[in-house]
Amino acid sequence: MQAVSNKLAERLSDAPTTVSAEYKPRADGSTMKALAWFGARDVRLVDAPIPYITEPDDIILKVTGTTICGSDLHLYHGEIIQLQQGDILGHEFMGIVDRVGPNIQNIKIGDRVVASFQIACGECSYCKQKLSSMCDRTNTSGLQNVMYGHRDAGFFGYSHFTGGFPGGQAEYVRVPKGNVNLLPIPDSVSDEKALFLSDILPTSYHAVVDTGVKQGDVVGIWGLGPIGQCAARFALMKGATRVIGIDSVPSRLLFATERSGIETIDFSEHTDVVKRLQELVPGGLDVAIDCGTFHQPKMLLHKVEKALMLETDVSEIVNEMIRSTKKMGSCGLIAAYAGYTNHFNIGALMEKGIRLIGNGQAPVHKYWHELLAMIGAGKLDPTFVVTHRVSIDEFPELYESFDKRVGGVEKVFVETKFSSPPSAGAPRLSRVADWGSELYIV
Ligand SMILES: NC(=O)c1ccc[n+]([C@@H]2O[C@H](COP(=O)([O-])OP(=O)(O)OC[C@H]3O[C@@H](n4cnc5c(N)ncnc54)[C@H](O)[C@@H]3O)[C@@H](O)[C@H]2O)c1
Ligand SMILES: [Zn+2]
Ligand SMILES: [Zn+2]
């Protein structure tokens, strides 16, 4: 799939952008540790050149905190096209400013900042509305332009389908358009609270806001990984009276009931999720949000069709959501999808008047000031979802264990040689090999 898409992309040629993805190395040839993709389930820690200022709007960060995301698992499984061997992954990171380009006015060397997972230009019509993930000018992928009719913003560490920018699962990272894509963090906010402004907090908040959760709603959330757990919290914050989370990982179901007090459905026990939801909520959900993953089909039919490349994505969750939601209710897709799916229940969507919303890649810039203010005021503590802390040296093992959801893992803080010690109450450094024995094979 990668080879074919890369060949096709070559023939379509690059779409014009205002930034280049390639970085210049430092003149002295010094290197850093970085996590790179080499194939399905094959990621390796490599020595890569340390980036240097390449364009006048660049900022180079020393990474003080990074992490792994459910979206990285799509790359790990080889489900996202236009990956190339040696691509440095990672789209969620924070750091200390090490170098600034000559055009940078608002940020200086030594500042502590978090990056948005998307690279926005700050000037196009989408960026002016803070819809940073929809930026028109930073993603070179001609293939995405053809497949989607338009292209999203460029993303860090997320294949050449999203611009081919080297990511932040590394000791250093180049941030193009550093003047707009970094948020300064006050000293009073710890690294473990700040890091997740790069993605999971704005993403889960956007899912809840954009799908329209309001006071008194009954909300269903498919998938209780970090995005689902945070979306459940935000739904409660917006006044939902009931939140029902659906998953099959025992530790994740327990986490949701114990830490957030929501109801859950274990889909390995209740194989007919729609029937179970109809028992629990006879009139139907007001809002359903997909926080799951498209690379984990349940039905043999989808497994076979995916294997034969007759579809790339799976419609199981979206069909369950449409059937479980009340007439004229809303369903949101914040979970990432990449291409085409079969057996989509278009009839139920139309006949029930379901508002099906593709939430898109979350526009981080639209929300990160508001969320930082919530954290500062003590109204939001993202550390509830952080279960482990590991060293960058363990990234390959972390990919494997996060994929298999070993040891009750939710979100992980990954430290580098530039990190501060863990803050009070945050997880201490652990070795992936020592995580608990609970194993859930996908
Ligand atoms: N739109 C965005 O901006 C954005 C940003 C970040 C992540 N995402 C996406 O959000 C999703 C969740 O991210 P995460 O980090 O929590 O991922 P994760 O992989 O840790 O969690 C996904 C969860 O979904 C569960 N699941 C799988 N199949 C299911 C099914 N049929 N029904 C119910 N649950 C099911 C899994 O058991 C798992 O616990 C991913 O698809 C990710 O790519 C989107
Ligand atoms: Zn992410
Ligand atoms: Zn833009």
Distance 79 CA to ligand 1 centre (A): 14
* pLDDT surpassing 70 at residue 383: yes
pLDDT at res. 442: 39
Ligand 1 contacts CB of residue 198 (under 6 A): no
* pLDDT surpassing 80 at residue 151: yes
Q: Which ligand 1 atom sits closest to the C-alpha of 74?
A: 43
**13 falls in which pLDDT band (50, 70, 90)?**
confident
pLDDT at res. 204: 98
Q: How far apart are CA 363 and CA 204, in angstroms?
A: 11
Ligand 1 contacts CB of residue 362 (under 6 A): yes
Ligand 1 contacts CB of residue 371 (under 6 A): no
Q: How far apart are CA 202 and CA 3, in angstroms?
A: 33
pLDDT digits over 219-235, tens only?
999 999 999 999 999 99
Is the Cα dihedral 268, 270, 275, 279 positive or negative? negative
Ligand 1 contacts CB of residue 142 (under 6 A): no
pLDDT digits over 253-288, tens only?
999 999 999 999 999 999 999 999 999 999 999 999
pLDDT at res. 14: 83
| 124 alpha carbon, closest ligand | 3
Distance 70 CA to ligand 1 centre (A): 6
Residue nearest to atom 1 of ligand 1 (CA): 361
Ligand 1 contacts CB of residue 246 (under 6 A): yes
Ligand 1 contacts CB of residue 118 (under 6 A): no
**95 falls in which pLDDT band (50, 70, 90)?**
very high
Q: Which ligand 1 atom sits closest to the C-alpha of 402?
A: 20
| 73 alpha carbon, closest ligand | 1
| 125 alpha carbon, closest ligand | 3
**Cβ(405)–Cβ(252) under 8 Å?**
yes
* pLDDT surpassing 90 at residue 248: yes
Beta bridge partners, 266, equal 247
Ligand 1 contacts CB of residue 158 (under 6 A): no
* pLDDT surpassing 90 at residue 441: no
pLDDT digits over 395-421, tens only?
999 999 999 999 999 999 999 999 999
User: Once rounded to an integer, what is the mean pLDDT over residues 337-351?
Assistant: 97
Ligand 1 contacts CB of residue 223 (under 6 A): yes
Q: How far apart are CA 266 and CA 109, in angstroms?
A: 49
Is the Cα dihedral 191, 195, 200, 205 positive or negative? positive
What percentage of the chain carries pLDDT values higher than 90?
A: 92
pLDDT digits over 19-71, tens only?
999 999 999 999 999 999 999 999 999 999 999 999 999 999 999 999 999 99
Ligand 1 contacts CB of residue 336 (under 6 A): yes
Ligand 1 contacts CB of residue 334 (under 6 A): yes
Residue nearest to atom 15 of ligand 1 (CA): 70
pLDDT at res. 261: 97
pLDDT at res. 122: 97
Exposed e or buried b per residue across 351-376, where buried means at least 16 C-beta atoms within 10 angstroms of its C-beta:
ebebebbebebbbbbbbbeebbebbe
Q: Which ligand 1 atom sits closest to the C-alpha of 361?
A: 3
User: Once rounded to an integer, what is the mean pLDDT over residues 70-84?
Assistant: 95
Q: Which ligand 1 atom sits closest to the C-alpha of 248?
A: 37
Ligand 1 contacts CB of residue 330 (under 6 A): no
Residue nearest to atom 16 of ligand 1 (CA): 225
Measure Cα distances from 397 to 42, 89, 195, 251, 432 in Å: 11, 15, 21, 20, 7
- Residue 25, both tokens: 């190395």
pLDDT at res. 406: 94
Place of tokens 């459910």: 70
Residue nearest to atom 20 of ligand 1 (CA): 225
Pocket test for ligand 1, best of 196, 227, 314, 441 (most atoms within 8 A of CB): 227
Q: What is the 3-state secondary structure (H, E, C) of the chain?
A: CHHHHHHHHHHHCCCCCCCCCCCEECCCCCEEEEEEEEECCEEEEEEEECEECCCCCCEEEEEEEECCCHHHHHHHCCCCCCCCCCEECCCCEEEEEEEECCCCCCCCCCCEEEECCEECCCCCHHHHCCCHHHCCCCCCCHHHHHHHCCCCCEEECCCHHHCCECCCCECEEEECCCCCCEEECCCCCCHHHHHHHHCHHHHHHHHHHHHCCCCCCEEEEECCCHHHHHHHHHHHHCCCCEEEEEECCHHHHHHHHHHHCCEEEECCCCCCHHHHHHHHCCCCEEEEEECCCCCCCCCHHHHHHHHCCCCCCCCHHHHHHHHHEEEEEEEEECCCCCCCCCCCCHHHHHHCCCEEEECCCCCHHHHHHHHHHHHHCCCCCHHHHEEEEEEHHHHHHHHHHHHHCHHHCCEEEEECCCCCCCCCCCCCECCHHHCCCCCCCC
Q: Which ligand 1 atom sits closest to the C-alpha of 200?
A: 6
**Cβ(124)–Cβ(135) under 8 Å?**
yes
* pLDDT surpassing 50 at residue 198: yes
User: Once rounded to an integer, what is the mean pLDDT over residues 190-199?
Assistant: 98
pLDDT at res. 437: 65
pLDDT at res. 4: 80
Residues with Cβ–ion distance below 5 A, ligand 3: 120-121, 124, 127, 135, 137
**Cβ(135)–Cβ(125) under 8 Å?**
no
Residue nearest to atom 29 of ligand 1 (CA): 292
Residue nearest to atom 43 of ligand 1 (CA): 71
Q: Which ligand 1 atom sits closest to the C-alpha of 360?
A: 1
* pLDDT surpassing 80 at residue 150: yes
* pLDDT surpassing 90 at residue 2: no
